[in-house]
Every structure is written in C-alpha cells, then in structure tokens.
Amino acid sequence: MSVIKPSLAKGTRDFTPVEMVKRNLIYDTIKTVFRKYGYAEIQTPSFENLSTLTGKYGDEGDKLIFKILNSGFFSDKVILNKETITEVAGNLDLYVGNKVPMRALKNENQLLNEISEKALRYDLTVPFARYVVMHQHEITLPFKRFQVQPVWRADRPQKGRYREFYQCDVDVVGSESLLNEAEFILIYNEALSKLGLKDFSIKINNRKILSGIAEIIGKPDLIIDMTVAIDKLDKIGLDGVSKELLERGFTEADLEKLRPVILLEGTNEEKLTSLKEVLAQSETGLKGVAEIEQVFEYVDSLISYGLPLVAKLELDITLARGLNYYTGCIFEVKTNEVAMGSIGGGGRYDDLTGMFGLKDLTGVGVSFGADRIYDVLEELNLFPASAEVGTKVLISNFDTEAEKYALPIVQQFRNAGISAELYPSSAKLKKQMAYADAKNIPYVILIGGDEIASGELTLKDMQSGEQKKLTVLGILELLK
C-alpha cells in the first residue's frame, strides 16, 4: 500500500478540541432554550431516498444535492466520456464491435436512477416534512420539534461557506396560534443574549402584507417580482430597486405608490399605522398587519416578567426570504456588532407536508446559523475562557513511587466530578508542564518525596504561577 499524504475533502473541516468545546457551547445553549419552550429533539438519517429530496429545492438546489452511488453499481455498467462520442448522433445509438446496435442511457434522470437512489440531506426542512408524514399517526399536534444536525451542499467552497455545516431548526406544526411566532422571537432573544450578543435585530415581515401591497398597486401577479426587487434595497438602494421594478413590469405610476411603502420609517407602531392606511382596501394586507400586531402583543405580555427583550424587534417590509415558501410571518436575525449575513431566519408555511401528500398542515419555524454565530462570537471575543478548558487538573508523574501514590488521588478527583489526569509516564517535568499548557489545564499537582511524606501536595496555578501546599481534600474544596 503506497502512503498517501492525507488531505480533507474540499469544503469540509476538522474540529479540534478547543473548537468543539466552543461549538458545543453554542449547540447546548440553543438546545437548552428550545427545551425550555417545550420543543423536543428528533433526528433523521443523513441520507434519504433521492426521490424524497429531488424537486424540493428548485433546479439549482437539485444540482447541489450530494448523490450517493448505488452499491454494486460497477458490476453491470460501463461509462463513456461524452467527449469521445461527440460524433454520435442525437439519439446516442451506439454500435459495438460486431455492429450490434446498443442504446445508451441518454436522459439525465434515467442515468441518475441507474447509478444513484440515495442522497445526503440538503436541509432539515424536507426530512422533517417526511418525518411528520411518516409518523403522523403517532404524533400529537401541535408537534414541537427541534433538530440540530449537519447538512451537505455541493456548493463551491469559499470563505465561510462549507460543504458540510450544521443547521439548528425549531418548528411547530399543527398550530395556527401566533403565540408560536412570538415565542420564536423570545427564543432568539434568550439564546443569542445568553451567548453574549448585545446588539442584534430580529426583523419581522408578513407575506400577507406583501400580497396586500401588490394587490393595492393592482399587480397581484407580480408579487414575486416585487419582493425580489425590494428585498435588495439594502444592497442596491432605492434607485436600483426602482430600476429593477421597471424592468420587471411595474410602471412609474406603480413606483409612486410603492415608494412610501418601501421607505416606511419610524417606530414599529408608526409603520403599522401607515400600513393600515395604505392597505385599507386590501383584506389580505390588513390581516397581515393584524398578525404582526398580535405577535407584538404576545411578545409584550411574555416579556413582562424576567429576561428583557435584548433584541431590536423591527418590522421590515423589504424582508422576503424565499417568499414562495412562506405564507405568514417571516423572520430574519442579524447582529449589529459585526458585518455578517443573517444569523437566523424562518417563518410560517401553510403547506410543508403537501409535497408528501399530507395537506393543510400549517407550521412555523426558525433556524439558527450556528457556523455564522460561531464566527461572530469568535470575532467579538465572546467565548468564555473556561470554554477552552477540558481537564481541570493534571497530576505530574515523578517516578514509580509518586505514580503509585497518585493513582487513588486522580480517581478521587474524578469521583468528585472533576476532570483529572495523571501524566502517564515519568517524563521530564518540563514536558509534563508543556502538556498542561498545551491543553489549557489550569492546575498542576506536584507530588515528590516531601509531598508523600507530609501528605500536603503542591498545587500550581498555571495562570498565575503561584504554588501552595494543600491536602487532597483542600485541593478538592478549591477546585469544586
């Protein structure tokens, strides 16, 4: 076997011990909040039948799904490079040695079915829909679930974009109540402020408001074009949006009506008041406004006790986020402390499970972008120093006698729930200290002849360099 210099597959990452502690801090914080709000964890398999996934993410999405080769595929297939058969007529009838005609598989789907029938999860939403449909008879509605698992996309890797990354999704299906929407705002608020973020915005919009606006302008069919354009306000400004709207079939007169809505300013209350005037003639639009008002009212009641709303809650009618999918409230979360895309988002969808034949099941859910949150916390230096500590105390190993003396002691620490190590050989002390340093172990216990004789061990604080003599029980007290 020749030795191969190992490398990572493109777009993937190893996570070191320090990174894992930090990642776990994010996952654990988010999961703890999910649980406190009554959400329960599920997991779905890493791969699904290809038929479960294809057609759910659009043509572009389908291309980014990682397909898994059927086992045994090689036993009955031959593959040709197309470049060698450019001469072949359209139908790809081929002739083998003795001129027997042979038809190649020529349709892409035909090909795909022949060689792959499974694919890696692309997101957590479609597997969740499948889960709900397959488990519908054992689920009691409303079904509140969260799911924290990796997903895979065959995207071109670039800074901050990986082919394997984690999604943290929380959804409830089978409840129309806007209390759910309000609780997601509190979940974002609690999880992100617990992680140390101090200035972040939860933007909210409602599909029905957008429908109302398109209706008022008299272009209900152009709602998608309208929202795609105004969604870009941040990036291309009002002029850019106007230009795009004109290109997409709106008139100057439409723009006159749209402009005040796009540029809506003031407090959420002021915006809602303006919208009620603008949308006075649209039942749908007014319903959207009423939904937002109800959500705000729920949030106010909920936060009347305890943790305040750290997040800025902003009505933003330029927010669209894959509008085709959402039917009610739409959310997006951004930090204002670091330049970074959205660190979360979601909304209400009225037909999640329709793709699998279960109609009229409403749901609402949001997602945390754990990888981006990681980058934000790292940049703002918000990970606690304790996040880098695994082992709390290392007992150094001088010689066989000291080792023998130390064996029950290291176990005594562990039994007290303190992560402890005995250096496994009597290497040079310098080496043992370097080991403690490299692992960010905050305390080292030195045991030599004096310590064995007196029963008082030397405890070294690795940060301050300070040393003191203490009994095992004294050290236990101190480290607990």
Q: Which residues are annotated as a binding site for L-histidine?
A: 123-125, 153, 167, 171, 321, 325-326
Q: Applying CB under 8 A, which of residues 234, 360, 381, 438 lies at the interface with a second copy?
A: 438
Q: Is residue 44 near a second copy by the rule CB under 8 A?
A: yes
Site size for a second copy (CB under 8 A): 138
Q: Applying CB under 8 A, which of residues 61, 123, 150, 290 lies at the interface with a second copy?
A: 150
Q: Is residue 417 near a second copy by the rule CB under 8 A?
A: yes
Instruction: Specify whether the backbone of 50 is left (phi greater than 0), alpha (psi in -120 to 50) or beta.
Output: alpha
State in angstroms the smallest separation of the CB of 47 from a second copy.
Answer: 5
State in angstroms the smallest separation of the CB of 349 from a second copy.
Answer: 16
Q: Is residue 158 near a second copy by the rule CB under 8 A?
A: no
Q: Applying CB under 8 A, which of residues 131, 200, 383, 398 lies at the interface with a second copy?
A: 131
Q: Which amino acid is at 273?
A: T
Q: Is residue 422 near a second copy by the rule CB under 8 A?
A: yes
Q: Is residue 5 near a second copy by the rule CB under 8 A?
A: yes
Max CA pair span of the chain: 95
Beta bridge mates, 346: 331, 366
For residues 235-254, which are near a second copy according to CB under 8 A? none
Q: Considering beta carbons, is residue 210 or 445 the nearer one to a second copy?
A: 445
User: Looking at 110-118, 239-247, 318-326, 327-335, which segment touches a second copy (CB under 8 A)?
Assistant: 110-118
Q: Is residue 476 near a second copy by the rule CB under 8 A?
A: no
For residues 185-224, which are near a second copy according to CB under 8 A? 186, 190
Of 214, 177, 183, 185, nearest to 314 (Cα)? 185
Give the whole-angstrom CA distance, residue 467 versus residue 33. Answer: 41
Give the whole-angstrom CA distance, residue 33 versus residue 12. Answer: 29
Give the whole-angstrom CA distance, residue 368 versus residue 364. Answer: 14
For residue 208, give Cα distances in angstroms to 1, 56, 282, 459.
63, 23, 10, 65
Q: Considering beta carbons, is residue 282 or 432 the nearer one to a second copy?
A: 432
Q: Is residue 4 near a second copy by the rule CB under 8 A?
A: yes
Q: Applying CB under 8 A, which of residues 26, 30, 120, 289 lies at the interface with a second copy?
A: 120
Q: Applying CB under 8 A, which of residues 62, 123, 164, 350 lies at the interface with a second copy?
A: 164
Q: Considering beta carbons, is residue 286 or 303 the nearer one to a second copy?
A: 303
Q: Considering beta carbons, is residue 214 or 420 the nearer one to a second copy?
A: 420
Q: Considering beta carbons, is residue 249 or 417 the nearer one to a second copy?
A: 417
Q: Is residue 43 near a second copy by the rule CB under 8 A?
A: yes
Q: Applying CB under 8 A, which of residues 27, 57, 62, 104 lies at the interface with a second copy?
A: 104
User: Looking at 308-316, 320-328, 370-378, 435-443, which segment touches a second copy (CB under 8 A)?
Assistant: 435-443
CB atoms within 10 A of CB 106: 12
Q: Is residue 473 near a second copy by the rule CB under 8 A?
A: no
- 41, 147 contact by CB (below 8 A): yes
Return the half-sphere exposure (C-beta side, CA atoms, 13 A cut-off) of residue 460: 15
Q: Is residue 480 near a second copy by the rule CB under 8 A?
A: no
Q: Is residue 58 near a second copy by the rule CB under 8 A?
A: no
Q: Is residue 179 near a second copy by the rule CB under 8 A?
A: yes
Q: Is residue 409 near a second copy by the rule CB under 8 A?
A: yes
Give the whole-angstrom CA distance, residue 251 versus residue 230. Answer: 15
User: Looking at 132-140, 195-203, 309-317, 451-459, which segment touches a second copy (CB under 8 A)?
Assistant: 132-140
DSSP 173-199: ES---THHHHHHHHHHHHHHHHTT--S
372 Cβ contact list (under 8 Å, min separation 6):
160, 340, 341, 342, 343
Binding map of a second copy across residues 298-327, x = CB under 8 A, - = no contact: x--xxxxxxx--------------------
Give the three-class secondary structure for 204.
Answer: strand
Of 175, 179, 168, 99, nearest to 343 (Cα)? 168
Q: Is residue 460 near a second copy by the rule CB under 8 A?
A: no
Give the three-class secondary structure for 471.
Answer: coil
Q: Is residue 133 near a second copy by the rule CB under 8 A?
A: yes
Indicate the DSSP class of residue 351. -
Q: Considering beta carbons, is residue 192 or 262 the nearer one to a second copy?
A: 192
For residues 326-385, which are near a second copy according to CB under 8 A? 354-357
Give the whole-angstrom CA distance, residue 291 versus residue 277. Answer: 16
Please state the residue numbers annotated as binding site. 123-125, 153, 167, 171, 321, 325-326
Beta bridge mates, 344: 333, 368
Q: Considering beta carbons, is residue 120 or 445 the nearer one to a second copy?
A: 120
Q: Applying CB under 8 A, which of residues 61, 116, 287, 337 lies at the interface with a second copy?
A: 116
Of 171, 190, 174, nearest to 38 (Cα)? 171
226 Cβ contact list (under 8 Å, min separation 6):
210, 213, 214, 217, 219, 245, 248, 250, 258
